Amino acid sequence: MFYGFDIGGSKIALGVYDSERRLVRETRVPTPHDDYSRFLNTLAGMVREADALYGEPGSVGIGIPGLPASADGTLYAANLPAASGRPLGRDLSALLEREVRIENDANCFTLSEAWDDEFRRYPLVMGLILGTGVGGGLVMNGRVISGQTGLSGEFGHTRLPVDALTVLGRDIPLLRCGCGQSGCIENYLSGGGFAWLWQHHYGSRLTAPEIVERWQAGDSQAREHVARYLDLLAVCMANLLTVVDPHLVVIGGGLSGFSELIEALPARLPRHLLPAARVPPIERARHGAAGGMRGAAFLHLKE
């Protein structure tokens, strides 16, 4: 059996998957905030309960919103104060007497999609999350490409390319990012960025869903706004495609529910790519909010 933890600031979810990658059990508990021992024992208790239920020790994977391990093997996750700065993987592996694998939740999202029945035929899968922030991941032949420090797929912290200034106007403010830099594409392509661009160009405050609702009603400003956003997304994404050259792109996050983005994007990409490049299939994520838990469970899968 394959166990996948999706750990966030408020809840710990454990999904149990069988050899056919089907979810057979899911449990949730509140996330302990102040006590590392209680945090560890909560995870271990959930695993042992599943072991007893299925009569075998399952493999354990964990998805977390942060960096799985720094140079000294400790976890960095700002919204998991009980575990941040601790060697979670090493300690839990020792407690459970089996290997525990930990990955960033965006990588787990991508891995979940790469193991979808429809997508398994693609060797190199790029995940792109357009939600509260902008993130993603890379999966090659069913395995996450983490990079030297676990930062592979942090697409949101690449900077606005030159062509983006043509789309947005060369006087566009280079917004300060939470990472400490300015001009990160996350501030323009995330759900909040989608709304900020509306306010910047039209002077009124609307949420992303409200803008989409206006677009669906045929509002001319909303149509213009979405076209501009799509052009910006194409410019930024073309840089990623040139570097990665994936066989498939899967888009998740709140904005992925706006089907126009998925449908209209491929036609906008070719003019920003090399002549020999091919636009890969671009699909909406199939597994939604379950992707982090599902991908964590599949950290132990092999082709």
Q: Residues comprising the binding site?
A: 4-11, 133-140, 157, 177, 179, 184
Cα-based angle 199, 203, 209 (whole degrees, multiple of 5) = 40
Q: 294: alpha, beta or left, given left = phi > 0 and alpha = psi -120 to 50?
A: alpha
Instruction: Extract the annotated binding site for ATP.
Output: 4-11, 133-140
Which of 194, 175, 192, 193 has the alpha carbon at shortest distance from 184? 175
Binding residues for Zn(2+): 157, 177, 179, 184
Q: What are phi and psi of 290, to 5 degrees?
A: -80, -5
Question: What gap in Å lies between CA 40 and CA 239, rounded to an integer?
Answer: 41
- Residue 65 gets which letter from DSSP? S
Q: Which two tokens stand for residue 253?
A: 């996050």
Question: In whole angstroms, what separates CA 170 from the centre of its chain?
Answer: 30
Q: For residues 248 and 116, is the Cβ–Cβ distance under 8 A?
A: no
**177: buried, middle or exposed (CB in 10 Å: 19+, 13-18, 0-12)?**
middle
